[in-house]
């Protein structure tokens, strides 16, 4: 999950802090794993729909 920085929370200090969490921290590995799972689920759905269309 990525922290939403809005209005007064969006400043250079907070942005750099959150980007460092994403790029260098534990969040990076967690986000990559989440994206991998999301991609797998999307591929499964697309493949199922393609089978319905083709057969």
- Reported residue count of the chain is 55
**What's residue 52's pLDDT?**
83
pLDDT in tens, the chain (55 residues): 677 888 899 999 999 998 888 888 777 888 889 999 999 999 999 998 888 887 7
pTM above 0.75, yes or no: no
**What's residue 1's pLDDT?**
67
**What's residue 35's pLDDT?**
93
Pairwise CA distance, residues 42 & 44, whole Å = 5
- 1 contacts: CB under 8 Å, gap ≥ 6: 27
């Amino acid at each position: 999950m990525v922290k939403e920085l809005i209005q007064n929370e969006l400043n250079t200090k907070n942005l750099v802090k959150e980007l460092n969490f994403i790029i260098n921290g534990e969040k990076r590995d967690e986000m990559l794993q989440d994206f991998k799972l999301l991609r797998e689920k999307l591929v499964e759905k697309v493949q199922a729909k393609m089978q319905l269309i083709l057969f």
